[in-house]
Amino acid sequence: MVFALHPLVFSSAALLGIAGGVLFGAGSPTDLVWAVVYAVIGSQSAAHVAYWIGRFFGAGLLPEGKQANIIARYAERLRRHSFETIFVMRLLFLPFDLVDYIAGILHINWKAFALATLLGALPGTVAFVSFGASIDLRQLAQGAAPTFNPRVFGFSLALFVISLGIARWLRRREQLQPTPAVQP
Distance of alpha carbon 79 from alpha carbon 104, whole angstroms: 11
Query: To 10 degrees, what angle do helices 13-20 and 29-57 make?
Result: 160
| pLDDT score recorded for residue 7 | 65
Whether residue 70 contacts residue 184, with contact meaning beta carbons closer than 8 Å, is answered with no
**pLDDT tens across the length of the chain (184 residues):** 566 666 666 667 777 888 888 888 777 788 888 989 998 998 899 899 999 999 998 876 665 555 557 777 777 778 888 898 898 888 888 888 889 998 998 889 999 999 999 999 998 888 888 888 888 777 777 887 777 778 877 888 888 888 888 878 877 776 666 555 444 4
| pLDDT score recorded for residue 23 | 82
pTM of the model as a whole: 0.75
Asked, for residue 136, whether it belongs to a domain, the answer is yes
Q: What is the DSSP string of 9-61?
A: HT--HHHHHHHHIIIIISSSHHHHHHHHHHHHHHHHHHHHHHHHHHHHHTTTT
Asked, for residue 181, whether it belongs to a domain, the answer is no
Asked, for residue 18, whether it belongs to a domain, the answer is yes
SS3 of residue 76 by DSSP: helix
Asked, for residue 182, whether it belongs to a domain, the answer is no
Whether residue 127 contacts residue 164, with contact meaning beta carbons closer than 8 Å, is answered with no
| pLDDT score recorded for residue 118 | 94
Distance of alpha carbon 145 from alpha carbon 132, whole angstroms: 14
Asked, for residue 63, whether it belongs to a domain, the answer is yes
Asked, for residue 16, whether it belongs to a domain, the answer is yes
Domain count, the chain: 1
Asked, for residue 6, whether it belongs to a domain, the answer is yes
Enclosing domain of residue 163: 2-176
| pLDDT score recorded for residue 182 | 45
Asked, for residue 184, whether it belongs to a domain, the answer is no
